[in-house]
Amino acid sequence: MEQISLSIVPDSYEDQEDNEEEDDGNEEDEEGNDLVIDQATFFEAVRTWNVNVIKQAMVQGNIDIDININALNDMEGNGQTALVLACKYGHESIVKLLLEQPSILVNFQPPGEGQRTALMHACLEGHGNIVELLLLRDDIQLDIEDGNSTTAFEFACSKGHHQLVKLFLEGGYHQTNDAGGSGDTALILACRNKHYNIAKFLLERQDIQVNVKAKFQNRTALIEASRCGHDNFVKLLLERGDIEVNLQDYDGTTALMAACMIGVVKLLFERGHILEACSYDHYDIAKRLLARSDTQVNLQDNIGYTALMHACFNRREDLVKLLLGRDDVDTQLKSSHGKTAYDLCRNKQHISEDVKNRLRER
């Protein structure tokens, strides 16, 4: 289980002030007697941020704090412990009190679909001071996954909590390039969810591997940013000297293919991508790409289509003519279904007979 070491909270954190009013006396019932703290009262005090009741429960003899501190409460229908509730609601002072108890189960995962630990909830909600308190513990486990195979660090990344990501990384967290249980790296999550500061912070680190692919769809951060239409993220990624722009995902889609589907194209003109330019009405992109001597005009995708085949299939005579202007274009290549470019357009009314003849006779 990976652990990290921390010293201080980043200066950008604002102090989280407790909103409870404390006094030196114990809580009393309606008759003036000291309030008897049962389990229901204890959990209600955690939820409502009543520090006096929590402190009273810690010293009261008629409650077994070692049992109740880790007991499950169903007030929200999902069986959470006092620590999980306090972290979820951001009750820092109560978290401190609970963490002082030797018997506290800091990594406990409540049953049910969520199975989220105290640290996961704090990361989800962006409670920075609480996250730091938890990360300072020697027994905290960072690689635990919830019911959806997501870690606390991945929650911080996906929710855009920049300072929490910095806490993890500056404390020595080393799993930044792992495609975790969710299948995505921190960089992919940041690019998909438009968390610019996190992506920028990650890309400034030399230990970030920019071309790592997600587990399930094999998309890189560049493919994901292009697919989502986040051109400012594409700019960031392309500034990295080690970026590989021609990588393909599970169905053969490249960054430019993904970008052409939704219009993030201007940044990739000179990057050697061509197939999707022909499919999605980007004549100028195809023209720029074909003007480059290193553009491989006859590359084929997972179904065997070349750029020329895509142009023919999509009835783009202008693109077909552009492609035929390249001396190295191969009109006789066949798709995985045995179709040539001519086969794909011979019944298309938008392709002239002259162009069809050039495809057939070349």
Question: 141 and 199 share a domain?
Answer: no
Q: What is the pLDDT of residue 114?
A: 79
Digit-coded pLDDT (tens) for 128-145: 999 999 999 999 999 899
Q: What percent of the chain has pLDDT over 90?
A: 24
Residue range 161-188: mean pLDDT, rounded: 86
Residue range 276-291: mean pLDDT, rounded: 46
In the listed set 173, 204, 232, which residue is the last one of a domain according to the structure? 173
Asked if residue 60 belongs to a domain, the reply is yes
Q: What is the pLDDT of residue 359?
A: 92
Number of structural domains in the chain: 3
Residue range 325-329: mean pLDDT, rounded: 85
71, with CB counted inside 10 A (0-12, 13-18, 19+), is: middle
Asked if residue 68 belongs to a domain, the reply is yes
How many Å apart are CA 297 and CA 336, to the nearest integer?
17
Question: 311 and 333 share a domain?
Answer: yes
* pLDDT higher than threshold 90 for residue 199: yes
Tokens of 50: 């009543």
Asked if residue 122 belongs to a domain, the reply is yes
Q: Where does the pLDDT of residue 5 fall: very low under 50, low under 70, confident under 90, or very high at 90 and above?
A: very low
Residue range 237-252: mean pLDDT, rounded: 83
Category of 298 on φ-ψ map: left (φ > 0), alpha (ψ -120 to 50) or beta = alpha
Q: For position 118, which CATH number holds? A: 1.25.40.20
Digit-coded pLDDT (tens) for 207-228: 899 999 998 889 989 888 877 7
Of residues 196 and 279, which shows the higher confidence score? 196
Question: 83 and 208 share a domain?
Answer: no
Tokens of 271: 């990057």
pTM tops 0.85, yes or no:
no
Between the CA of residue 297 and those of 25, 136, 294, 341, what are the distances in Å? Answer: 81, 55, 9, 13
Q: What is the pLDDT of residue 305?
A: 78
Asked if residue 269 belongs to a domain, the reply is no
Question: 186 and 331 share a domain?
Answer: no
How many Å apart are CA 166 and CA 326, to the nearest integer?
50
Digit-coded pLDDT (tens) for 86-125: 898 898 988 998 898 888 889 988 776 578 999 999 999 9
Question: 142 and 28 share a domain?
Answer: yes
In the listed set 230, 264, 298, which residue is the last one of a domain according to the structure? 264
Question: 5 and 102 share a domain?
Answer: yes
Nearest to 234 by CA among 266, 201, 282, 272: 266
How many Å apart are CA 312 and CA 39, to the nearest integer?
72
Q: What is the pLDDT of residue 291?
A: 58
Q: What is the pLDDT of residue 109?
A: 87
What's the mean pLDDT when you consider all of the chain? 75
Q: Is 70 within 8 Å of 28 (Cβ atoms)?
A: no
Which residue in the block uniquely carries the two structure tokens 């499950």? 72
Asked if residue 117 belongs to a domain, the reply is yes
Asked if residue 285 belongs to a domain, the reply is yes
Question: 46 and 165 share a domain?
Answer: yes
Question: 162 and 62 share a domain?
Answer: yes
Question: 5 and 154 share a domain?
Answer: yes
Q: Where does the pLDDT of residue 339 fall: very low under 50, low under 70, confident under 90, or very high at 90 and above?
A: very high
Q: Is 274 within 8 Å of 290 (Cβ atoms)?
A: yes
* pLDDT higher than threshold 90 for residue 328: no
Q: Where does the pLDDT of residue 156 fall: very low under 50, low under 70, confident under 90, or very high at 90 and above?
A: very high
Question: 164 and 294 share a domain?
Answer: no
Q: Where does the pLDDT of residue 280 fall: very low under 50, low under 70, confident under 90, or very high at 90 and above?
A: very low
Residue range 66-74: mean pLDDT, rounded: 54
Q: What percent of the chain has pLDDT over 70?
A: 71
* pLDDT higher than threshold 50 for residue 195: yes
* pLDDT higher than threshold 50 for residue 49: yes
Q: Tell me which residue range forms the domain holding 203.
A: 176-264
Q: What is the pLDDT of residue 77?
A: 47
* pLDDT higher than threshold 50 for residue 288: no
Q: Where does the pLDDT of residue 71 fall: very low under 50, low under 70, confident under 90, or very high at 90 and above?
A: low
In the listed set 264, 298, 323, which residue is the last one of a domain according to the structure? 264
Question: 151 and 76 share a domain?
Answer: yes
For the ranges 74-83, 141-150, 177-186, 296-305, which has the lowest average pLDDT?
74-83
* pLDDT higher than threshold 70 for residue 1: no
Question: 32 and 152 share a domain?
Answer: yes
